[in-house]
Chains A and B, each alone.
Chain A
Amino acid sequence: MRCSRSTDFLLAALATVALAGCATIDPPKPWEKGDLARPSMRFDADPLVDKAMAHIYQSKEGAGGGGTVGGGGCGCN
């Protein structure tokens, strides 16, 4: 099937509109990252508490890297 000239134009117009849409989701500029740098934007509430929790979890698992690596416990991986 051969595209007619008007379909061609319509597709081009649609593509333009679609591409223009991408412009609105521009990532924030380096000087606009104030809100992203706020403490409330962290994944962890408190890095020190997080470390302590990880330490307890690891000692319960009984292996180094027990908090992150699957398996373990016997020390043989």
Chain B
Amino acid sequence: MRFLPALLLASLACATSANAVKPGDPAPPIALATPGGDAVSLAPLRGRVVYVDFWASWCTPCRRSFPWMNAMQARYAKDGLVIVGVNVDKRAADADRFLRDTPASFRIALDADGKTPAAYDVKGMPSSFLVDRHGIVAWIEEGFRDERRDDLEARIRALLAQH
């Protein structure tokens, strides 16, 4: 029976996620497609600041974050900001309906299998990962709260200023 404590410890170690993404880590690769079928990945976006947002049709704060992301895209695209909205809906029709009600002017990627949010170890919906020009995660935002808009925009602007 003296193995039991070791076993319990081992199972605990397995249970806690070993692949948690932290600021300072390289952003895990993304290999997805837009609803139109175009490939979406991070590698060609090296050199730009990328705001990776995980959203779903059933997530209410996501609905409120879209107008803000549209505004950010419009304001900072010329400075090198790219927003990638990764949809995690199981049914593509749900994402379609959401996008009809809440149009997005940034690129959308579909991930029904949930491989990407698993790789990023998303802790809540929505979650956003701000990636700098070198492909390093600079900031992780969980949820979308109106009072966080200014701070997020300042972080985007600070990263855009870095070259």
What is A's interface to B at a CB cutoff of 8 Å? 3, 8, 11-12, 15-16, 19, 22-23, 29-35, 37-38
Contact = CB atoms under 8 A, between A and B. Distances in A.
A31 B88 contact: yes
Contacts, number: 52
Contacts of B123: 30
Contacts of B18: none
18 contacts: A3-B1, A8-B1, A8-B2, A12-B3, A15-B3, A15-B4, A15-B7, A16-B7, A29-B118, A30-B124, A30-B125, A30-B127, A31-B56, A31-B118, A31-B122, A33-B125, A34-B91, A37-B58
A38 to B, nearest CB: 7
A29 B127 CA distance: 13
A34 B14 CA distance: 26
Interface string B98-126: 00000000000000001001100011110
